[in-house]
């Protein structure tokens, strides 16, 4: 079981955290929030997403008493990451983009 957490902080790039347990992820989340605040950054909770890989624990994560959104998939650094942990969705999306680009070349 893995928990994958994606942040989008002010003036910083995306950050991903990985943990094996819900408790570890909640601790990491609080730590990142505290360190970010100490240097004047805040975590945009509306852009923060939680993805759970094969997790039986369906409890929500919170940050400053606000529940964070659970998602089934999202794009991180150009790749689609989903709950299954595989690359099928990413490969299909890349093939579709390549097909679209190829078909545009046929008109030249």
Q: For 37-64, how does the pLDDT look when each residue is reduced to its tens digit (9 = 90+)? A: 898 888 888 888 888 887 777 788 888 8
DSSP 48: -
Q: How confident is the model at residue 7 (pLDDT cuts 50, 70, 90)?
A: low
The owner of tokens 């929030």 is 33
pTM of the model: 0.66
Helix, strand, or coil here: 76?
Answer: strand
Provide the token pair at 60: 């929500």
Provide the token pair at 59: 């409890």
pLDDT > 50? residue 103: yes
Q: 50 near 73, Cβ under 8 Å?
A: no
| Torsion sign across C-alpha atoms 84, 33, 22, 2 | positive
What pLDDT is recorded for position 3? 52
- Across the chain, what does the average pLDDT equal? 82
């Amino acid at each position: 079981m893995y928990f994958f957490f994606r942040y989008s902080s002010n003036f910083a790039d995306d950050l991903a955290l990985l943990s094996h347990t819900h408790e570890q992820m909640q601790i990491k989340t609080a730590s990142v929030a505290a360190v970010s605040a100490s240097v004047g950054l805040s975590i945009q909770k509306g852009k923060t997403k939680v993805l759970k890989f094969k997790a039986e624990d369906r409890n929500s994560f919170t940050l400053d008493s606000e529940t964070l959104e659970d998602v089934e998939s999202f794009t991180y650094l150009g790749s689609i990451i989903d709950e299954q942990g595989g690359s099928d969705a990413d490969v299909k999306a890349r093939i579709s983009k390549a097909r679209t680009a190829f078909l545009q070349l046929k008109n030249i």
